Structure 1
């Protein structure tokens, strides 16, 4: 019996007609892609508009409208936040009157900088360094340690340029203070931390792409057996990156974009573009193989392009839509950063889809003669992957049980997951700004923000102090102070040992919020903000899951005509993503592989990572699911029985899926080498997700479950089958 083949007359669908149009004017499409790419990079990175994307990035813990944010609003009304610049001085002889006098004289010059509101320094104390009021500004609270800090407050409301100028001048004069005292000085500020993070993000992006693009080119050269074919997906990926960066630049004018968004979204666009380009070029060469002779004619190239865009283009559209649906789930959440990632991610997926069904086919047409040299023989129906499928089909139950045991074992650490929202810990351990603030917290604890702050709506300081006193004995509490906040509120500052989001700090927040008070109280701080963020995410998660599950189910049903296949695909993805998160917890929370991966564990996983991994990982898993299912469905519709369709589908896509997975691992591996902790965690998580999905799930679980289910794979209730007959998306 002859093997069923999907080859045949090009279907006259809209995609086929698009392929025909591209085949008629390929150089026009290529030129348009080049012009668009140059324009995108010029605007987003080149700064032709006066600023680049990286100039518009921000950084901070993810927030939502909550009790913590309301408390911050009350505090801001009474104590407006000021931009500050802090200098730490070490090695100063504060017992020498002349040294102190020289330092005080130099410090007075700082106050003369335009835009400076005030300067707080122990050197300017009227009663000298022995004044108890300046003890918090002295290292160890005494001049004997030879260290002190100076804090510069700037006039609020200055524009960006004026603020930058004031900070630069103040920093120069602050360092002159240390020089005048023959000591060492270092300067830090919130704006410097943000600058350090955004600069590191930019460097990580360049380094990641610098690693990923050459390596992917080499791998694809091996896969395709030539540089021309390998270069086409890379060109498509570069254009997609330009479109992604321009998209992010546009969104930065509508919402505040966190610095980490750029790498997260860009690496997704890069990975998808390479995947889709690989699929498109592979299918084009496969279609050329049907011609039966060496040099293809113009008509044969046109038919191959038509067929490629109609079939591979359809797969790309299905795949892109599944990824977009997964990312659209982020739009349900309240946190602005999640919505920003969702919107930007969807736009990047759309860019990758458009490039894959327009520019890449046009490149294939231009390079058709070179591509055809190794495409004469038709793809074989027998090979490594078909034999793997047959082997799995002999013992499907054993394979299912074995793989599920492995995945559950990998997922077990997820049960002990702890979440945190890092600040300077996002930077490498030796980053100057991280070192600066860790030293500041250690040597000048009174200057650091309290871990937990309670805003009490009362003008009675004594009453608030009496109520707050019950929390002094709580685990981890090191200090508690009450001070008036305007005329109608009191502020309770509570210092807790450990990190700002430690278990003790979070337990204290929960206890305070559950404790009755004779006045209204609002609790804030980093721990409170994290609790509110996670509560908000948990409240919206069911709606996000429902949106993604329903959207994916509908899309896969329209593609397959089955209700069993989509349900099975969703269940397998959940198991594989749980395993990927387990790997992240084992590495980053438990501190394994610190030396190899170049990070320092903070004993937890960044709070956004699980949600982003579920969205991005689900999208990538469905990406490979669509790659495989599209060919299985294609063979099944051409007459192959279930097991034969599965083995043929795996044989025809196995090499593509494996190659695509390897390329995705290379892309994400480039970002694992980055310095920003959350990007490193995302990179490791997605590498794990792709490896698990492309091997254990796609090569073993999918054929095993489809074999076990047999004809049930294609079952649907009669009303839904009629619905698919009418609205289903087929070639």
Structure 2
């Protein structure tokens, strides 16, 4: 099939190039406006208790967790008469804005001391913007200019979830431009060095650009029907360039090798597509299936990475199998134009990778033991991992939302902007259930780490009513329901904050309740990730096993690949904890706020992406080793020769892909730095310790057992196996 495809593309090369050009024009026009259609949220779990409670609060009570916080500063103090007048008027105007369900402040809540800064020079206005993330964003864009310039004698700064999402969207666009401005020229320079020529070096960039353009068009279309995260843009750029480099290296290297052997251009293309093209096809399927595991998770933040990743893989593979052969057919031997040769070519078996493989197969046990010890040591910090959610601390420290959050942390000890919200939607009218509401509020206020409970019947501290119902009591009532605001004194992501969620959810209540708020959302997110992770691992393991079995006819090699990949990724996760959770190497990775944890979704993204990329190199290397073994029957020799023929290409590909992902470190968003560093480390670790040491050591120890399969599976492979040397 691949030979027929190569022949067709070679003959119709001009038509293929014309169709590809038209595709780029149409897809480029469609995808040009994609950023305006993407969202910066996607961390909530659809259908979870916290999500349902938040929806009930918004729809039935016209309230909810404050998603917009205005920090108002007055030089002469927030209690002077003109400041009180201006603050009250600001709150009234904000509450009347379209899209604002509710707005309260220090001045409208009877000078609530919890909403005044410690030095009395600042106070808070808390608002809830209604609608989904896109509607909230549009409301904020309309409201913000009217208040950003402040009031006479007062300044206004914006914070809260709505402002964080707005700033994340702006930051990601700036990050993309910076990363591309750095990655593209550096990548081209390294490609010129790797290919030892200019024309050949441009081919991987061409494939990467086509994959990126096609994926942006797909994301634009998907955004018409479902939510898509703006952070999928980063993956589109990084993975598009990375896979364009990988697949081009495999195909072009084989093509130039065939030309050097003296065959015709058509024969060189046919052989390259049949062999390296088969590797590309296997790799693409493996990477796509690894990324498809992200679709198992309910949060559209993770699902968006699957959308982008699968599209990128498909377009990169299609370009490598169709567009690249057409370009090679047009270029012919001119692919070596502006090229130079090495001054001295290492003799067969004397190149660095052959020597390394020979050294390892002579000493497999000590080499494997040493490599495993290094990986385990690097992975040990992961034992102390702590998780959290993405918030304003992911932004640069000088971002407005980050500055507001820092001020709240230092000047407002009670977490007024981050309460736990307890909803009793069908508890009966608050008036008829006043005694039950009172008793329940007292019970909640007596729980550990609760600063105060506010509700229809008043405010409570330590089990006692400290303030009678205020004029704003009706905000806690709607028809046959009520809700309570539980202000805590602890970090919602910490053990104490999570224990408080558990205590509230299990506390005896006179009516059915549900909880919303950051702490509750975090609990539901961790539960959703934990529940789906076994299925994610199972999907990746099964698909990897099947594909490698079809390639090699062995049941041992797939198991070996899965185990070594898991070991390598553990080391990567340990490095992420050491750098980002513990705060090391900020001078190298770019400054960021150390939160004492890492975003809960990051390890899953890194796992699925890195596993797929590592299998990319696994397929390429095993194809060559299997080709040598089928020809000679010598396991040790086939490992040495196979690694010698592929080691340089794998190393070059890994270095180039790592460079692309390291460009993510220029991002101002912490969890994008995590993703970039994690993927770069995983690729480098896989191409060095795993492929250079552990794989040859394992294969030397396993001997002929490497290619073993039970008789029924061996017969099955002879019938449907797809393996062929690359």
Q: Which residue of 1 aligns with 2:575?
A: 583
Q: Mapping of 1:451-466 within 5 angstroms?
A: 451-456=419-424, 458-459=427-428, 460-466=433-439
1:371 is displaced (CA, Å) by 2.9
2:362 to 394, 405, 418: 394
CA distance in 2, matches of 1:321, 1:729: 13
**Cα distance, 1:120 vs. partner?**
5.2
Task: State the Cα distance separating 1:329 from its structure 2 match.
Answer: 1.7
Q: Secondary structure at the match of 1:140?
A: coil
How many residues are treated as equivalent by the alignment? Answer: 693
**Residue 610 (structure 2) pairs with residue 641 (structure 1):** no
For structure 1, the 5+ residue unaligned runs are 1-13, 126-131
Q: Deviations over 1:389-438 (max 9, x none)?
A: 11101010111111111111111111211111122122112112221344
1:11 aligned partner: none
User: Once the two structures are superposed, what CA deviation does each residue of 1:503-551 show, in whole Å capped at 9, x if it has no partner?
Assistant: 2111111233344444323233222222222222222222222222111
Stretch deviating more after TM superposition (668-677 or 82-91): 82-91
Q: Distance in 2 between matches of 1:542 and 1:692?
A: 25
Match of 1:668? 661
Partner of 2:122: 147
Query: How many angstroms does 1:650 deviate by?
Result: 0.4
In 2, Cα distance between equivalents of 1:204 and 1:119: 33
Decide whether aligned partners of structure 1 residues 711 and 118 sit closer, same or farther in structure 2, where only a CA change above 3 A counts: closer
Distance across 2 between alignment mates of 1:158 and 1:666: 37
Any unmatched runs of 5+ in structure 2? 457-475
Q: 2:298 aligns with which of 334, 355, 358?
A: 334
In the other structure, the counterpart of 1:129 is none
Note closer, same or farther for the CA distance 1:208–1:410 as it changes in structure 2 (3 Å cut). Answer: same
1:453 and 1:491 in contact (8 A); partners too: yes
Matched with 1:301 is 265
TM-score by length of 1: 0.87
The superposition leaves residues 29-81 of structure 1 with CA deviations (integer Å, 9 ceiling, x where unpaired) of 23332332233232212x3xxxx334432325332422222322332332235
Question: Is the contact between residue 85 and residue 153 of structure 1 (CA under 8 Å) also seen in structure 2?
Answer: yes
- Selected match of 2:562 from 570, 585, 594: 570
1:558 to 550, 553, 561: 550
CA contact (8 A) 1:413 1:585 kept: yes
Q: Which moved more, 1:404-413 or 1:524-533?
A: 524-533
The Cα of 1:28 is off from its aligned counterpart by: 2.9
CA shift for structure 1 position 440: 4.6
1:727 deviates by: 0.5
User: Would you say 1:506 and 2:479 are equivalent positions?
Assistant: no
Cα 1:662/1:463, change in 2 over 3 Å = same
- Give the alignment partner of residue 376 of structure 2, picking from 381, 397, 408: 408
- Pick aligned residue for 2:700 from 699, 707, 710: 707
- Whole-angstrom CA distance in 1 between matches of 2:91 and 2:299: 42
SS at match of 1:58: coil
Judging changes above 3 Å, is the alpha-carbon distance between structure 1 residues 328 and 655 closer, same or farther for their aligned structure 2 residues?
same
Question: Which residue matches 1:324?
Answer: 288
1:536-555 counterparts in 2 under 5 A?
536-555=528-547
- Residue 108 (structure 1) shift: 7.8
Q: 1:473 to 1:405 in 2, by over 3 A?
A: farther
Cα separation, 2, equivalents of 1:600 and 1:397: 43
Give a deviation string over 1:653-696, Cα, whole Å, max 9, x none: 10111001101110110002211111111111111111111100
Partner of 2:197: 226
CA distance in 1, matches of 2:680, 2:67: 40
TM-aligned CA deviation for residue 711 of structure 1: 0.5
Match of 1:32 in 2: 19
User: Kindly tell me: are residues 400 and 31 of structure 1, through their superposed partners in 2, closer, same or farther at Cα, counting changes over 3 Å?
Assistant: same
Q: Is the 8 A contact 1:122 1:150 kept in 2?
A: yes
* CA gap 1:602/1:278 in 2 versus in 1, 3 angstroms: same
For the structure 1 residues 381 and 22, does the alpha-carbon distance in structure 2 shift closer, same or farther, using more than 3 Å as the test? farther
1:510/1:97 Cα in 2 relative to 1: closer, same or farther (>3 Å)? closer
* Range that drifts further, 642-651 or 264-273: 264-273
Root-mean-square deviation over aligned CA pairs: 3.1
Q: C-alpha distance in 2, partners of 1:341/1:438?
A: 30
Could you tell me whether the CA contact under 8 Å between 1:669 and 1:687 is conserved in 2? yes
Aligned partner of 2:462 in structure 1 is none
Would the alpha carbon gap of residues 635 and 444 (structure 1) be closer, same or farther in structure 2, given more than 3 Å must change? same
Work out which of the residue numbers 43, 50, 53 in structure 2 matches 1:71. Answer: 53
Deviations 1:161-195 (A, max 9, x none): 9995x7566544435652xx234333456443222
Distance in 2 separating the partners of 1:551 and 1:246: 28
